[in-house]
Chain A
Amino acid sequence: AQSVTQLDSQVPVFEEAPVELRCNYSSSVSVYLFWYVQYPNQGLQLLLKYLSGSTLVKGINGFEAEFNKSQTSFHLRKPSVHISDTAEYFCAVSVPNAGNNRKLIWGLGTSLAVNP
C-alpha cells in the first residue's frame, strides 16, 4: 500500500539553527512530491514540489528539499530558521489513481517550533 511517513511529529529548534524535516514514502510507481506549510489558524500553502528533473528543489522562504529515489525520501531543509517558520509542515505524494487521475497521499504532519 502507498503511504507517507513523516518521521518526526514535533521538531523544536532554536532560531538561526538549521533544520531538517524528514519524509519517507512507499510507492512502486512514479510519484510527484510536495511539501505544504500551515501557519497557525490558516489553510495550507505549497512550499515546494518535485515533478521531475533536478532532485534538489528550492521553494519559498529559503526552504529546499531533496528527492532521493533509492531511499524513497523527500526531506525538507532550511539552513537557518526564523521564528516566523513556526508552523505545521505536511509532506504529500501524488500517485496514479483510477482512470487518468492521480491522488494525494498525505503525511500526518511535523510541527516545527522555533524558539528564540
Chain B
Amino acid sequence: NAGVTQTPKFRVLKTGQSMTLLCAQDMNHEYMYWYRQDPGMGLRLIHYSVGEGTTAKGEVPDGYNVSRLKKQNFLLGLESAAPSQTSVYFCASSWPAGDPAYEQYFGPGTRLTVT
C-alpha cells in the first residue's frame, strides 16, 4: 500500500496563478482532509470531506476550493494564488470519526511558494 500520496511535492507560483494539488489514498478511507502548516501556527484545517461527493469548510477555507469526485482522491485548488498561501500543505485520510481506530494518516506534503 502506498498510503497517502500527494502531487506535486514542490511548486512555485506567481501571484494570481492557479493550481490544483492532488491527494490520493489507497486505504479505502471515508474521510479526507487538507491542512496547511506554517511556522509557529501548527496545523490548520482548510477543508475536509466525510465521503465521496461531499466537502466541508475547515478553519481557514478562504482562497481554496476542494472536490471529492472519487473516494480515493481529494483535490485542493487555488484559483488565484496569493503570497499568504505560501505554506506546506498536507493531506490526510481516516476512517469515520466514530470508529475506535480513528486516526489520521498523512501524506508527505507539498511545499508551495507564491511570489
Report the Cα distance A32→B106, complex, angstroms. Answer: 18
Interface residues on B, range: 20 to 34
Task: Tell me if B42 and A107 are in contact (CB < 8 A).
Answer: yes
Q: Which residues of B contact A108 (CB under 8 A)?
A: 40-42
Report the Cα distance A107→B41, complex, angstroms. Answer: 9
Identity of the chain A residue whose Cβ is nearest the Cβ of B3 in the assembled complex: A43
Report the Cα distance A32→B102, complex, angstroms. Answer: 9
Interface residues on A, range: 20 to 34
Contacts from A to B (Cβ < 8 Å)? 9, 32, 34, 36, 41-46, 49, 51, 90, 94, 97, 100-104, 106-109
Given A94-B102, A101-B96, A109-B42; 20 other pairs, CB 8 A cutoff: A9-B40, A34-B103, A36-B106, A42-B109, A43-B4, A43-B106, A44-B90, A44-B104, A46-B104, A46-B105, A49-B103, A90-B43, A100-B98, A101-B97, A102-B98, A103-B45, A103-B97, A106-B42, A106-B43, A108-B42
CB<8 Å pairs between A and B, sample of 20: A32-B102, A34-B103, A41-B109, A43-B106, A43-B108, A43-B109, A44-B92, A44-B106, A46-B103, A46-B104, A51-B100, A90-B43, A97-B97, A101-B50, A101-B96, A103-B45, A103-B97, A106-B42, A106-B43, A108-B41
